[in-house]
Amino acid sequence: MCDTCGCNITSGNQHLLKPGGKLSIANNGVSSISVLKNLMSENDQVASHNRDHFDKNNVLAINLMSSPGSGKTALLEKTIQQLKERYRIAVIEGDLETENDADRIRKQGVPAIQITTGSACHLDAHMVHDAVHDLSLKDLDIVFIENVGNLVCPASFDLGQHLNVTLLSVTEGDDKPSKYPVMFRAADIMLLTKTDLLAVLDDFDTKKAEQNLRQLASDAPVIELSSRRGDGLSTWISWLHKQIEEQLTRIKNGKSLKPNIQKEGVQLHSEPSLPHNSLKQNHT
Amino acid sequence: MHELSVCQEIIIQVNEIAFQNQATTIESITLQVGPLSGVEAPLLKQAFPFAAAQTVAENAKLVIEELPVVVKCKLCGSQSTVVPNKLICGQCGDYHTQLVSGDEMLLASVELTRENKLAEVNNV
């Protein structure tokens, strides 16, 4: 996308460029410069760098997002138990405080890096970059990134992952995709967790949760599972196997995959970001 | 929560533009923000003065263009303006749609005063 051929002009912004539009007028001594640059470019640059690291080392990176307490760590424990004989796994854990989750993962016999964000409500590409350097990527097949429990901010930050997994536990309500469209639109797969509790809940309709996801124009698969009882885990594990195979095929063909987040949209409208250095250069 | 870091990114990019254009002052900064971008215009406005303090954009006016959510149906081809949590076709009701507008978080344009004070227009 560039300013040369006009391919950055979309139906959303073309009115600005027409006579009388904001980008066409100039007042006394004041110049108007058209930019159309993505405001996440600094994060996205580092995210691409992280993705290159993963791809070069044949690693599949998966970002798990959900509310706090919807069962991300429990799901990872069960997943590691089922996959660790076949794949070399590591986990990057994001939390505001404590090493609790990383400790739980380490008990499963795989490396875990805990990022404590202080009061930051999401992981960003820089934090993941630092964590990635504490891992020996060449000795790994899968890196799970467990994001900070939050249905808002994590959705806006590309970390360099290949896929987004969004968990929705049945105690949270089947209307969560409608309430948090930015988050659920970013999901490559939605997992309905804690389904063993459905027996005592009369207000969570799994069909409705899926319909609410479809309303976001999402084709992402939906799996119902209970990490505690094991229901649905085999479907999730098969999905993971498929993703690992697809990742290896992509790498063989020199390709990479960006998660559902910003696959279209922003990337369509803005020009590629400035090189990292030139952004920093004149920062006062 | 991350509106301040978005504002810091705005300042980094605006600084670069000011340097390239030998500008002394940034008069105004226009952003385009869609409801699916994850940032809120009122919070950006609140955070902006903190990021802009003691920079070339210190007195700049922050203009935020809030863009509508528009989808194009992959089945019937019609385009409809929709609400952020119902991205389905307004004509046929199918959910196989492509987002045309609504997730933007862009620095759209910058108005600046150059050192030589000459009026100049950059047409696109």
Please give the DSSP secondary-structure letter assigned to residue B36: G
Confidence class for position A271, pLDDT limits 50, 70, 90 = very low
Per-residue buried b or exposed e for B8-18, using 16+ beta carbons within 10 Å of the residue's own CB: bbbbbbbbbbb
What is the pLDDT, as a whole number, of residue B96?
95
pLDDT tens-digit readout, A125-156: 999 999 999 999 999 999 999 999 999 989 98
B122 in any annotated domain: no
* Chain A residues whose beta carbon lies within 8 Å of the beta carbon of residue B38: 152-153, 155-156, 182
Q: Is residue B44 part of a domain?
A: yes
Task: Reply yes or no on whether the pLDDT at A2 is more than 90.
Answer: no
- Which residue in chain B is spatially nearest to A181 when comparing CA positions? B85
pLDDT tens-digit map of B41-67: 999 999 999 999 999 999 999 999 999
What range defines the domain where residue B9 resides? 3-114
Residue B91 lies in a domain: yes
Tell me whether residue B103 is in a domain: yes
Q: Which amino acid appears at position A29 of this protein?
A: G
Considering the domain boundaries, does residue A277 fall inside one?
A: no
User: Which residues of chain B form beta strands (DSSP E)?
Assistant: 23-33, 61-66, 69-73, 79-82, 97-101, 105-114
CA A221 to chain B, closest CA, distance in angstroms equals 14
What is the pLDDT at residue A38? 86
Please report whether residue B41 resides in a domain.
Answer: yes
Report the C-alpha gap between B115 and B112 in whole angstroms: 10
Query: Closest to A278 (Cβ–Cβ): which among B2, B16, B63?
Result: B16
Residue B10 is assigned to a structural domain of this protein: yes
- Domain hosting A146: range is 44-252
Closest chain A residue to B8 measured between Cα atoms? Answer: A39
Query: Count of CB atoms within 10 A of residue A199's CB?
Result: 7
Is residue A146 domain-resident? Answer: yes
What are the chain B neighbours of A16 within 8 Å (beta carbons)? Answer: 30, 65, 108-109
DSSP letter (8 states) at residue A146: E
Put simply, the answer to whether A33 touches B111 (Cβ < 8 Å) is yes
CATH of the domain at B8: 3.30.2320.80
Residue A82 lies in a domain: yes
pTM of the model: 0.83
Interface subset of B 34-63, CB within 8 angstroms of A: 34, 36-39, 54-56, 63
Number of domains in chain B: 1
Residue B10 has pLDDT above 80, yes or no: yes
Residue A154 near residue A53 (C-beta atoms within 8 A): no
Q: Provide the CATH number for the domain around residue A162.
A: 3.40.50.300
Arithmetic mean of pLDDT, A83-100: 95
What does the angle CA A166 – CA A169 – CA A170 come to, to the nearest 5 degrees?
135
For the cut 80, the answer to whether the pLDDT of residue B122 exceeds it is: no
A16 in a structural domain:
no
Question: From the DSSP assignment, how many helices (H) and strands (E) are in chain B?
Answer: 2, 6
Q: Is residue B98 part of a domain?
A: yes
- How many domains, in total, are found in chain A? 1
Of the pLDDT bands very low, low, confident and very high (cuts 50, 70, 90), residue A283 is very low
Phi–psi pair at B83, nearest 5 degrees: -95, 155
Residue A126 lies in a domain: yes
- For the cut 70, the answer to whether the pLDDT of residue A102 exceeds it is yes
pLDDT per residue as tens digits for the range A220-241: 999 999 999 999 999 999 999 9
The overall longest dimension of chain B from CA atoms, in Å, is 56
Closest-CA distance, A163 to chain B, in angstroms, reads: 19
B120 found inside a domain: no
Instruction: Find chain B residues with C-beta within 8 A of A280's C-beta.
Output: 12
Q: Evaluate whether ipTM surpasses 0.90.
A: no
Residue A210: φ, ψ to 5°: -65, -45
CA–CA separation, A274 and A269 (whole Å):
15
pLDDT at residue A118 in the model: 87
The count of CB pairs under 8 A between chains A and B is 206
Residue A91 lies inside a defined structural domain of this protein: yes
